[in-house]
Amino acid sequence: MTQLAAFFESVKLPSMSEVAHALIQSLNDDDVGIPEIRDLISQDPALSAKLLRLANCAQFGLPRGVSSLDDAITMVGMQKVRTLALGACLSESFPIIEGLDRKEFWRTSMACAGYSQWLAVGLGMDGQEAWLTGMMLRLGELLIVQAEPAVLQEIEKLPHIPGVRWQREARLVGFTEGQITSELARRWNFPPQIVQALAQSADPVTPHGFSRLAGVVHLAGLMAETDHNGPEVIDTLPPEVVTALMLDNDWLHAKFPAQENFINVTSL
């Protein structure tokens, strides 16, 4: 038995709902339409209600209230509703961890997802796939704490320097959150490219090859943890990953998105 397999013997795996699985599959379906997404989400009344609350929050600035899933999808956009639904499904799949700031955890996850999507689209990659991979990155930390609750304080020790949490996890547990999330994604039957990207997320530039998706998520994870909310964070990113992705520095500065465009923790 490998060390990672032994780790998974010590934790209780969260269950992914059928609705979440179907939503994930829909990300790769270019022909999926509003009726299919509406019918999927409507199978879960609690999720439907949560999405309507999210759609009516001030973030979207809609001219009138949203009272149905059809309205939410039409006015907010199918992509946004689908990603909000997936975010809600993921957050509900994991228990509340004592001592971990739940809202901050999911705020960082949403920021990582948003930055991942922004970078991926700019590089001509699949933005939805990048969003999901970024959203999942930190899930491994929840399993680490489940297996070894005593390490939480050390992992989350201040200051939260971008990237240092990965180093602490590797030192304390032997694996980074990305490596653990990768194995979880494999067991959940996620696409191989997502599994690989999560496994390499803390160190995407290796002698064994470079995963563009891992590079995107690596940079997004660092940006999500920084105290800077503006394009100045670009200058702190590891140049070897920026170079490997062939990102244009002027484009990064000019097109840098505001975090509030893709973070919503009102339902947590």
Crossing angle between the packed helical segments 139-147 and 177-187, to the nearest 10 degrees:
100
- How many C-beta neighbours within 10 Å does residue 175 have? 22
Instruction: State the pLDDT at residue 253.
Output: 95
Q: Look-up: residue for tokens 């590079």?
A: 215
Q: What is the DSSP letter of 238?
A: -
Residue 92 is predicted with a pLDDT of: 79
Residue 33: what pLDDT? 83
Rounded to 5°, angle at Cα 79 from 118 and 93: 90
What's the sign of the alpha-carbon dihedral 234, 221, 200, 156?
A: positive
Instruction: Name the strand (E) or helix (H) holding 209.
Output: strand 209-210
Domains along the chain with CATH numbers: 14-93 (no CATH), 98-268 (1.10.3210.10)
Residues with pLDDT less than 50, the chain: 1
Distance between CA atoms of 81 and 71, rounded to whole angstroms? 11
Q: How far apart are CA 117 and CA 111, in angstroms?
A: 10
Residue 80 CA to residue 88 CA, distance in Å, equals: 12
CA 96 to chain centre: 17
> Is 115 in contact with 247 (CB distance < 8 Å)?
no
Residues 206-227 pLDDT 10s: 877 889 999 999 999 999 998 7
Q: List phi, psi (to 5°) of 210.
A: -125, 125
Query: What pTM was estimated for this model as a whole?
Result: 0.85
**Cα–Cα distance, 190 to 183 (Å, whole number):** 10
The pLDDT assigned to 175 comes to: 94
Query: According to the model, what pLDDT value does residue 62 have?
Result: 62
